[in-house]
Amino acid sequence: MRDRLIELANDNAETWAIGYQDECWWSRMALPALHSFSAAGQPLRLVEQSVAKDDPDPKAISCYGLYVPQIKQTWIRFVEGRPVSGITIRFLSWCSGKLYARGK
């Protein structure tokens, strides 16, 4: 089905565009530190990391990207937090607006 849509978009390249979207995120809290030590004969204990309530930095940062091969451009946006549906929809709406401005 994907290949059929790509072919359909290529057949209508004057008004349609193909884009490849991806997203990823990084968290300050998701992974423990990898370097740890313990006293001889004692089990290794990982300490849960926590953030102070007044810490202004975000716990996570997301990166969204869309590659549009027809115009040889990649559009990237960074946002605070994890990539959830509402943020993804805003990113895709932003991309759609940029494509619409180009006549797509």
Question: Cα Rg for the chain, rounded, in angstroms?
Answer: 21
Q: What does the pLDDT look like over 44-73, one tens digit per residue?
A: 776 666 777 888 888 889 999 999 999 999
pTM for the full predicted model: 0.70
Asked if residues 15 and 104 have their Cβ atoms less than 8 Å apart, the reply is yes
Asked if residues 51 and 59 have their Cβ atoms less than 8 Å apart, the reply is yes
pLDDT beyond 70 at 81: yes
- Tell me which of 22-36, 48-62, 73-87 is least confident: 22-36
pLDDT at 86: 92
**Residues facing residue 25 across a β-bridge:** 62
H or E element in which residue 90 lies:
helix 85-101
The structural domains of the chain, with segments of one domain joined by +, span: 1-27+58-104
> 1 to each of 8, 78, 104, how far by Cα in Å?
11, 31, 22
